[in-house]
Amino acid sequence: MVTLVLLPGMDGTGRLFDDFRATLWPGAAAMVIRYPPAQALDYAALETLVLSQLPKDAPYVLLGESFSGPIAVAIAARGAPNCVGLILCCSFVRNPRPALAWLRPLLARAPLHLAPLGLLSRLLLGPRSSAAQHAAVAGAVAEVAPHVMRARMLSVLSLDATEPLGRVALPLLYLRAGRDRVVPRSAAALVARLNGRTQIVEIDGPHCLLQTFPATAVSAIYPFIRQIEAALETAGPA
């Protein structure tokens, strides 16, 4: 059986995967890797942290949600024998909003604890989301120290994971949100252009796709993983 390893969005808490995990198919194996809420780690340090927690003797598929996509790409590009597939959900391998790069000096000083969380939540979850979903996002963000959130945002602005993406020689599924107001369609197009193995599935939802449309996301992920499992069964022991 292949384990689905979930790497969280920018909050890093992993809390926002709860509904998605509850919707997985019977018998599914899944694990969530969480990031330190009070320690500002760059992409390289987070990659090291994730590597230390991955299954050591069983196959797994990495799912990188949004902010974590570049981490999943970097690990998949290593060619680790137990990593058998890659899923990117509403993610990117380069700053998805380059026109906002000028905000970097401002972001470095901005009091993030004063940010309008309600507006951010609506941007992530879309207009049809529930009060419980907004509360979950608010709770996850509240767990993360402002300086950590700032460091993660700054990491995205200077990101370039295009080279490792081209080295990924695994099945690659990209889940694109049709109503994503955070990551544009061009981010998925770039992934597909740089890696010909990419399969794009579009779901008519907002940026927090796994939180708002978990069952629809599972319906796209399940056949992807089953196909990988079937190939492993056919290949037999290494």
CATH code: domain of residue 224: 3.40.50.1820
Q: Is 79's pLDDT higher than 80?
A: yes
- pLDDT of res. 154: 87
Cβ–Cβ under 8 Å, residues 194 and 162: yes
What share of the chain has pLDDT > 70, as a percent? 90
Which two three-digit tokens encode residue 152?
Answer: 């993660």
Grade residue 33 by pLDDT with cuts at 50, 70 and 90.
very high
Q: Is 109's pLDDT higher than 70?
A: no
Q: Is 112's pLDDT higher than 60?
A: no
The domain tally of the chain equals 1
Q: What is the mean pLDDT of the chain?
A: 90
Rounded distance between C-alpha atoms, residue 2 and residue 18, angstroms: 19
- Please compute Rg for the chain using Cα positions: 17
- pLDDT of res. 101: 62
Cβ–Cβ under 8 Å, residues 43 and 94: no
- pLDDT of res. 104: 60
Own/partner long-range contacts of 212-221 (Cβ < 8 Å, ≥24 apart): 212/125, 212/126, 212/128, 212/129, 212/133, 214/19, 214/20, 214/22, 214/23, 215/23, 217/20, 217/89, 217/175, 218/20, 218/23, 218/24, 218/25, 220/173, 220/175, 221/4, 221/63, 221/87, 221/173, 221/175
| Residue range(s) defining the domain that contains residue 15 | 3-235
Rounded distance between C-alpha atoms, residue 101 and residue 166, angstroms: 24
Q: Is 191's pLDDT higher than 90?
A: yes
Grade residue 114 by pLDDT with cuts at 50, 70 and 90.
very low
In 54-182, which ranges are continuous DSSP H helix?
Answer: 69-77, 104-107, 117-125, 131-142, 146-157, 162-167
- pLDDT of res. 133: 87
Which two three-digit tokens encode residue 224?
Answer: 């992807």
Give the mean model confidence (pLDDT) for residues 101-126.
64
Rounded distance between C-alpha atoms, residue 102 and residue 107, angstroms: 9
